[in-house]
Amino acid sequence: MSESRVPRRRRFLVCEPRHFAVQYAINPWMHPERPVDTGRALAQWRALVDAYRAHGHTVETVEPVPGLPDMVFAANAAVTVGGRVFGSLFKAPQRRPESLPYDTWFKSAGFDVYRPESVCEGEGDFVPAGRWILAGTGFRTTREAHQEAQEYLGTAVISLTLTDPYFYHLDTALFVLDDTAGAENIAYYPEAFSPGSREVLARLYPDAVTATREDAMAFGLNSVCDGRHVFVSPGATTLIGRLAERGYVPVPVDLSEFHKAGGGIKCCTQEIRS
């Protein structure tokens, strides 16, 4: 079955973890007293970039800024749909300065950037899924931002409520497997969502791949799929097996050093959709 899965080449934006550190705590994963091995983090990040390029994807970089230790988490800076860039307004004041260098990069690349009025954290909580955008709320991005995004991007936004603080962004609890219109599918951890949101997901995606809590806590759902290959945390062993059974090709990439800040593969990856 894996031969029937067709990858689509993607364009990714990333930021080297030159200044990565855990200097404050804004989610349950972050403990400033726990040291970060910056050399190991850089090696893991480079392995991710190499894996993307080895599978035919384009990877571009934004220059890291001193004093912004979480800037490596490029996904949080914006969401792009059809060449439109909906920027970020971080909830935590420590992260708000990250928006400017990303906005500058997008503008220099020829994109217009919308500056939101409501708190929103890019692809952390906005997950484009073909005909619609799945949007998380509950800890960071607000429902008002969902409305702003729908108006600017011109794509239906489906609001989902997150209830477990360990899965504070939507991209820690869900990722898209197929974004082809009419054939959309996802992988997700149901217990990260409110009862009503679980019902919505079950109706939209009756064939979804579900993950265990162990998979989710290993950042298995903070993954990137190109339609065939799934760049996934090696610790999500049950999920890896379920993906392989469905014909996907898991590509394990260890980003465990970034778990100390509550991030993983997808957090480090902004997809540019022209």
Say if residue 27 is exposed, middle or buried (CB neighbours under 10 Å; 0-12, 13-18, 19+): middle
Query: What CA–CA distances, in Å, run from 36 to 39, 189, 198, 253?
Result: 9, 28, 35, 18
DSSP state of 163: -
Beta-carbon neighbour count of residue 157 at 10 Å?
19
DSSP string, 29-90: T--TTS---HHHHHHHHHHHHHHHHHTT-EEEEE---TT-TTTT-GGGG-EEETTEEE--B-
Q: Tell me which residue of 246, 253, 202 sits closest to 228, measured CA to CA.
A: 246
Residues pairing with 135 in the sheet: 126, 159
19 is catalytic: no
267 is catalytic: yes
Locate 249 and state its tokens: 């090709």
Q: In what order do the strands lie in the sheet with 132-137?
A: 126-129, 132-137, 156-161
First to last CA, the chain: 30
Annotated active-site residue in 15, 225, 267, 268: 267
Say if residue 130 is exposed, middle or buried (CB neighbours under 10 Å; 0-12, 13-18, 19+): middle
Annotated active-site residue in 169, 225, 229, 259: 169
What is the rounded distance in angstroms from the CA atom of residue 223 to the CA atom of residue 173?
A: 10
**Catalytic residue positions, numbered:** 169, 267
